[in-house]
Chains A and B, each alone.
Chain A
Amino acid sequence: MSRYEVNSLLYRLKKDAEFRARFTEDAAAALAGADLTEAERAAFVARDMRRINELGGYLHLVMSIPGLAAH
């Protein structure tokens, strides 16, 4: 259910300001318990929204996460 994990994380980054702050501070640590493939984890750590979209992240989420959004 990796597609779910990617989108669930995107949703949490958008809606949970405290989690977003921890991710911004140290992305790898914030994602430590997440059930992601290595490619997914690398894309999140790199804040590479284009790659996250390629991996199944919904467009409207990758375009609207405060401070991380692709434009």
Chain B
Amino acid sequence: MGRIVFAGAMSHVLDPGYYDRACGEHGRRSVLAAMAEIARMGERLSAQSPEALIVVADDHLNAFSFNCVPALCVRIGRRVQRMVQDHAEAFDKVLDHMPADYPLHEALANAILEQGLASGFDLALSWEAPVDHAFLSPVNTLHGPRPIPPLVPIFVNAFVAPQPTARRCFAFGQHIARVVAQSPWNVGIIATGGLSHFPELSLPRVGETDTVFDRRLIHCMERGEHGPLQELTAEELHKTGSHEFLNWMVLLGAVSPARAEVRYFGELPRINLAAVEWALG
């Protein structure tokens, strides 16, 4: 019988140069501190020798623009490629130094997909979608030079309205937990993105965050109070720049009622950086 052996969530632009350009020396120091905590989380992840790592993250209008934008999509197949962007700018530049190709855990991805469809989750599937910084920045920061286990990338539509609801993302996470429990594998799961940044996806508001809202989310996660989080609305998430918390909702469904332990929380003008780990029974 399989089990989830590690669960963590973290911001997903993990690059000192990016924050140096966006926020100056304070930004660079803050993300280095966050990255150090995430690297320690990665050591605990690797110590569990997971046979697969589920990565729940969002696409930044790179893989799915605009032929189709799936609400929830399982990346299947045997391998996944890093997004390629010529003359990359901003968050895309973070990918430049990363490996270009990663193995997938085909059997676990297929199980999540097939059992999902059989139990009422109308999931999308992709054999070809590349993954951007939302997946690869955390994965590489967690592992450093150590081998990366086979991945199961799960895409959540965090940005293109209408998005899936927080409640539905949580239910999908519960589905993932059921699949893992019935599988033979020990599995790690991470969710990426956030916390508050880019409220209302408005360029003039880049540089604003909602720390009060973030502390409310953390308060609930630390206490394992997942009911109020399932009530979060698309409007709240949009206003507070918490679009990517939908990824975290999937993870919460997978580990509920486990309690979160905050490894790092740091306010920057551009984003509130966070790294959180769950105490699994």
Contact = CB atoms under 8 A, between A and B. Distances in A.
A59 B21 CA distance: 18
Contacts, number: 62
B201 A63 contact: no
Nearest to B22: A71
A6 to B, nearest CB: 11
B159 interface: yes
A20 to B, nearest CB: 9
B89 A65 contact: yes
Interface residues of A, number: 24
Interface residues on B, range: 20 to 34
B203 interface: yes
A8 interface: yes
B117 interface: no
Nearest to A17: B86
Interface string B182-222: 00000000000000001001111010000000000000000
Residues of B contacting A: mostly: loop
B201 A64 contact: no
A53 to B, nearest CB: 4
Interface stretch (B26-34, B58-66, B118-126, B167-175): B58-66
Contact of B202 (A8, A53, A67): A53
A64 B92 contact: yes
A69 B206 CA distance: 13
A70 B203 contact: yes
Contact of A53 (B85, B87, B90, B203): B203
B202 to A, nearest CB: 7
A60 interface: yes
Contact residues of A: prevailing secondary structure: helix
A25 to B, nearest CB: 16
A55 B145 CA distance: 44
A67 B87 contact: yes
Interface in A1-42: 4, 7-8, 11, 14-15, 17
B91 interface: yes
A45 to B, nearest CB: 18
Contacts of B89: 63-67, 69
Contacts of A17: 86-87
A63 to B, nearest CB: 5
A7 B88 contact: no
B90 A71 contact: yes
Q: Which of B22, B86, B89, B159 has the most CB of A within 10 A?
A: B89
Contacts of B22: 71
Contacts of B204: 50
Given A7-B65, A64-B92, A70-B203, 18 more contacts: A11-B61, A11-B66, A17-B87, A50-B203, A53-B203, A59-B198, A59-B201, A59-B202, A60-B60, A60-B201, A63-B89, A63-B90, A63-B203, A64-B89, A65-B89, A66-B88, A71-B21, A71-B90
18 contacts: A4-B66, A7-B66, A50-B203, A53-B201, A58-B159, A58-B160, A58-B201, A59-B201, A59-B202, A60-B61, A62-B203, A63-B89, A63-B90, A63-B206, A64-B60, A69-B89, A69-B90, A70-B203
Interface of B: 21-22, 60-61, 65-66, 85-92, 159-160, 198, 201-204, 206
